[in-house]
Amino acid sequence: MEIFVPKTETEKQKAVAGEIRERFRRENRRPLVFARTYGCQQNEHDTEKMLGLALMCGYEKTGDPANADLIIVNTCAIREHAEKRTFSCTGAYKKLKEQNRELIILFCGCMAQETGIAEKIKRSYPYIDAVVGTDSNHRLPEIIQNVMQTRKRAYLVNSLPHSDFGVIAEDIPALRESEYKAWVSVMYGCNNYCTYCIVPYVRGRERSRRYEDVVAEVKQLVENGYKDITLLGQNVNSYSGGVSFARLLEKCASFGGEYRLRFMTSHPKDASNELMDVMAANPNICKHFHLPVQSGSDKVLEAMNRRYTRNTYLEKVAYLREKIPDVTLTSDIICGFPGETEEDFEQTLSLISQVRFDMLYTFIYSPRPGTSAAARGDQIPYEEKLRRFEKLSALQLGITLERNGRHTGKVLRVLSEGKKTARSEGGTLVATDTDIPAGTFADAYITAAHPANLEAKIIRP
């Protein structure tokens, strides 16, 4: 199956965008688009691309849904909590539709692709004009035109089984949120089937952009003055667009001038020594590794289908720290996976004490429809999951404080985000004494450390 959307298709969408723009011009309208994004960076970037297409159609961006002529809701399905929030927020748009019959509301992103959601919207959310699965984002102009011309509701959702879908559309102009920070997708989808995770079902099969396309995009961004570029993928280590991910990263870090290159997310089973060596050798690559471990218990790791053990994980961390002693290491943990005993949980606590991550993203296990873990009979009661979550968070708080403390009295290179805030190479927030323009680098002397940020004096702007 061809995964690349043919050029003729993207050209067609651009032509349709031209027709819409022309219609607005004839009607003397200056239409506005509002986007609301839930979920991960991948989704943030998808929104940037959909906004880019909306701009081609003649829309201008607004921060206020009440003024909008087009509302894009880009949804996340990773945990039930995100879904509930999405539906309650989307409910507020009903009123807007009553006030403005011309308003177009699109329901996009991961939830759109989830089993049963399109049906639910059909039944209970009549003011939503179209449900757009992630494979159809590039068809935004056509979708908008259809709604305008017919006022018929549309459901562009892939019905192929499991992850047997997924395309790549190149040449979609992104309306980037920032002038110095950029996301670049290198691959989409996931084939890992961790037993708790809905991603393979909603994002489809793993597929990689071509090496040349990624490199050209990064080069252009660097030339345009971008200073903080993140290569994105659900599992960047299995990048297969012509070279290994390590070589891709190396190439992307090789352009002139000072800039930062990051990547998200790595699966521990595929995080290679080659990748760690490239990180160690290259000044433009941030010395930050996000390596989600999920659990410290081998039994739970196996039940999650993670395909590494506590020991092999620890070996990777040891290699990384040997190569880059000051590396910033962050991770994800799930509390209360089905069948997780107190002993398993203790194993996670001990792993955290042993590794001493700079930061942890801790999640309460949330059963997702269609995943095998959700069907297990040994679900943990919510109160117990919460207790574990709180215990873990308290343990990590002390470790983060200690890890942040190691910077006190030292000089760190920071990238300003404006308003007296900046980011260290490891991604830690730094409150600075002077205001320096967003997107510029400076040397900062760290004067204090807190769990959530550092404080610093700018010594060399």
User: Count of CB atoms within 10 A of residue 445's CB?
Assistant: 18
d(CA 61, CA 216): 27
Q: What is the contact mask toward ligand SF4 in residues 84 to 113, using x (rule: CB under 6 A)?
A: --------------------------x---
What SS3 state is found at 156?
Answer: strand
Contacted entry of ligand SF4, ligand 5AD, none for residue 59, CB cut-off 5 to 8 Å set by kind:
none
Task: Please tell me whether residue 388 binds ligand SF4 under the rule CB under 6 A.
Answer: no
Task: Please tell me whether residue 449 binds ligand 5AD under the rule CB under 6 A.
Answer: no
Smaller CB separation from ligand SF4, 110 or 261? 110
d(CA 218, CA 418): 23
Task: Please tell me whether residue 334 binds ligand 5AD under the rule CB under 6 A.
Answer: yes
Beta-carbon contacts of 375 under 8 Å, excluding residues fewer than 6 positions away, are: none
Cα 410 to the center of its chain, rounded Å: 31
Kindly tell me which residue out of 45, 203, 287, 388 binds ligand SF4, with binding defined by CB under 6 A.
Answer: 203
**Shortest distance, position 371 Cβ to ligand SF4, whole Å:** 12
d(CA 283, CA 104): 46
Query: Directed axis angle between helix 245-252 and helix 273-281, to 10°?
Result: 10
Contacted entry of ligand 5AD, ligand SF4, none for residue 366, CB cut-off 5 to 8 Å set by kind:
ligand 5AD
**Phi, psi at 247, each rounded to 5°:** -70, -35
Task: Please tell me whether residue 279 binds ligand SF4 under the rule CB under 6 A.
Answer: no
d(CA 333, CA 388): 11
Smaller CB separation from ligand SF4, 79 or 287? 79
> What is the number of alpha carbons within 13 Å of residue 358 lying toward its C-beta?
27
User: Count of CB atoms within 10 A of residue 362's CB?
Assistant: 18
Could you tell me which stretch among 115-123, 282-290, 360-368, 389-397 binds ligand 5AD (CB under 6 A)? 360-368
Contacted entry of ligand 5AD, ligand SF4, none for residue 267, CB cut-off 5 to 8 Å set by kind:
none
**Shortest distance, position 294 Cβ to ligand 5AD, whole Å:** 6
Contacted entry of ligand 5AD, ligand SF4, none for residue 294, CB cut-off 5 to 8 Å set by kind:
ligand 5AD
- Written as one string, the DSSP assignment of 227-283 is -EEEEE-TTGGG--SSS-HHHHHHHHT-SSSS-EEEEE---TTT--HHHHHHHHH-T
Kindly tell me which residue out of 43, 230, 284, 347 binds ligand SF4, with binding defined by CB under 6 A.
Answer: 43
Task: Please tell me whether residue 235 binds ligand 5AD under the rule CB under 6 A.
Answer: no
**Shortest distance, position 334 Cβ to ligand 5AD, whole Å:** 5
**Phi, psi at 352, each rounded to 5°:** -65, -40
**Shortest distance, position 72 Cβ to ligand 5AD, whole Å:** 22
User: Count of CB atoms within 10 A of residue 283's CB?
Assistant: 11
Task: Please tell me whether residue 230 binds ligand SF4 under the rule CB under 6 A.
Answer: no
Contacted entry of ligand 5AD, ligand SF4, none for residue 76, CB cut-off 5 to 8 Å set by kind:
ligand SF4
Kindly tell me which residue out of 289, 308, 365, 389 binds ligand 5AD, with binding defined by CB under 6 A.
Answer: 365
| Pick from 221, 298, 211, 198: nearest CA to 247 | 211
Task: Please tell me whether residue 110 binds ligand 5AD under the rule CB under 6 A.
Answer: no
> What is the number of alpha carbons within 13 Å of residue 194 lying toward its C-beta?
27
Residue 35 identity: A
**Shortest distance, position 361 Cβ to ligand SF4, whole Å:** 11
Binding positions for ligand 5AD, rule: CB under 6 A: 78-79, 196-197, 292, 294, 332, 334, 363, 365-366, 368
For ligand SF4, the binding residues (CB under 6 A) are 39-40, 42-43, 76-78, 110, 199, 202-203
